[in-house]
Amino acid sequence: MKIPILDNYLKHKRELREIELAMANEARRMFSYDAGKKGRLQDDWSSTTKTPSQNFKKEWRTIIARSVNSFDNNPHTVALLNTLQSNVIGNGIRPVAMVKDSNGKPIEGLNKQLNEGWKRYNDQWDSRGKDTHAELQKMRFGETFRTGSTITNLRPSDKGSYLSITNQVVNVLRLDESRDWLTMSYNEPQVKSTVFGINLNENGKAVSYWIQGLENPVSADLMRVDFRTIMAEQYLGIPWLIAALKYLWANEQLISDKLISSRIQAMIGLFIPNTLMNNLIKKQKNADNQLEWMQGKVYYGQKGEEPKVIQPDDSIKDVLEPLQRLLLHAISMTLGLSYQTVTRDLVRTNMASGRINVNEDRKVYRGLQKWFAKDVLQPDWETFVRYMFLEGKIAGKSIVDYNKDRWKYNQAHWIPSGFDFIDPSKEATASIDLINNKQMTYEKWYGEQGIDYRDAFEQIAIENGLMKELKIEPIDVQNAANKSKVASGDSDREEDD
């Protein structure tokens, strides 16, 4: 016996369920992510949900080896590093002590002692006694760029050195990741995990480092690994060109394939009917009555065949150049640099686009300068300051004073090498206007030229004093420039780009 009320209820329930399913399917269709879909078209789109360290763990030595190999063999990779080194590091990023009192005023006497001490320590920074701290900055930057990280190891200095410490730069491949699963056998309570041979505490901070060939780990007080952090849970740096390596490899293979093709083309064979060349080639056959394949040879076919030339495709202009340009664009974008800056290809560039590229590239350089100074160079300075206090190099101060407020005494301003003017006349005039209108400080302007404004003012004072002593009239540069413009008729005419 059917119950009408129950039948109606079940019918309406099915209808509601069908409506809910239809709405859900429509919602998924409208709001789903293509990157999350699975199916025949996405079957070969592999991915992983592991942590950054787990993703990098198994392949890190292979990736570093491929990155280094690219620098050894690919001129475009070398050009990328040279461009960054010359613009980010230049002649070296140098520190200026900025210790201030409780009122925010610089303590000139203390700052002067630190600055003068650094000049000597800079020359003795390298444990090999070969390079200065400033000179090694390019090498350390390049090491970070190629392998992702650089290791600095504190060592005792030779007798007679200004401070009792010196430094050794170690390749990151010296880390011993085979110790990663032996942490429990190492008796150090604060070590909670070991990744890439780095002993970490519960906060993920490095405690010590396992180095190949050493029985015990090196304390983090004496050794550190520096790298550019780009993701959470990252304990080791990743080569900067990791995203471009496959394109660099493709570029090498593309050129190699074209070179092989061109070499084959140089070995063209010409097929001519034997009725025309029978007598000519009779003496060129070997013992098996066959023609041997050799460069420059003429070959013949069967009677009645037309002459033929083996002609491989050699469309370098139509194929190779556009493909190379496409690959180099992708490689340049990996670092946020312009194609023109990396390749020096200015064929399709005018003054306006060139300026835009230079300005955008300089934003990348300045960002890298700040990172390198803060993460790599500032720890060098802090070690130097600590030992200056520890070894009594600061008059009237001791290590006790330093330990009371380390942050205060560690303050320093890092000045990178400056950038050249793009349009010297216009930029110099604009800078003068900004300074006169109090929109730019001398510290900022001189800093962009890689000069400490105090040094500049002191030098200007020395030069002015000497000119006065020798009764030399100072030159009014601004009036001289204006007179030059009037004389040349350019005072009211703006130069075209």
User: For 139-162, how does the pLDDT look when each residue is reduced to its tens digit (9 = 90+)?
Assistant: 999 999 999 999 999 999 988 899
pTM of this prediction?
A: 0.72
Instruction: Report if residue 254 sits inside a domain.
Output: yes
**Is 23 a residue whose pLDDT tops 60?**
yes
Sorting pLDDT into bands at 50, 70 and 90, what band is 494?
very low
Instruction: Report if residue 321 sits inside a domain.
Output: yes
Instruction: Report if residue 293 sits inside a domain.
Output: yes
Q: What pLDDT is recorded for position 360? A: 87
Strands 298-301 and 270-273: parallel
User: For 176-232, how does the pLDDT look when each residue is reduced to its tens digit (9 = 90+)?
Assistant: 988 886 555 556 788 888 999 999 998 889 999 999 999 999 999 999 999 998 888
Instruction: Report if residue 167 sits inside a domain.
Output: no
Q: Which residue has the higher pLDDT, 342 or 165?
A: 165
Instruction: Report if residue 489 sits inside a domain.
Output: yes
Lowest mean pLDDT of 46-60, 264-278, 372-386, 403-417, name the range: 264-278
Determine the Cα–Cα distance for residues 144 and 240; give it in Å rounded to an integer. Answer: 8
User: Helices (H) and strands (E) in the chain — how many of each?
Assistant: 18, 12
- Mean pLDDT of the 74-90 span: 89
Instruction: Report if residue 477 sits inside a domain.
Output: yes
- List, as one string, the DSSP characters of 400-432: HHHHH-HHHHH-EEEEPPPPPPSSHHHHHHHHH
User: For 425-461, how does the pLDDT look when each residue is reduced to its tens digit (9 = 90+)?
Assistant: 777 777 788 888 888 887 777 777 767 777 778 788 8
Q: How many domains does the chain have?
A: 3
Domain end position, chosen among 321, 337, 353: 337
Give the residue numbers spanning the domain of 32: 1-39
Instruction: Report if residue 18 sits inside a domain.
Output: yes
Q: What pLDDT is recorded for position 25? A: 67
Instruction: Report if residue 310 sits inside a domain.
Output: yes
Determine the Cα–Cα distance for residues 89 and 371; give it in Å rounded to an integer. Answer: 12
Q: How many CB atoms lie within 10 A of CB 417?
A: 19
For the record, the structure tokens of 213 come out as 């060939």
Strand order in the sheet with 308-309: 298-301, 270-273, 308-309
Q: How far, in Å, are 186, 189, 236, 369, 400 from residue 179 at the CA level?
A: 10, 16, 15, 34, 38
SS3 state at 34: helix
Q: Please, which residues have CB within 8 angstroms of residue 17's CB and are 6 or more apart in sequence?
A: none
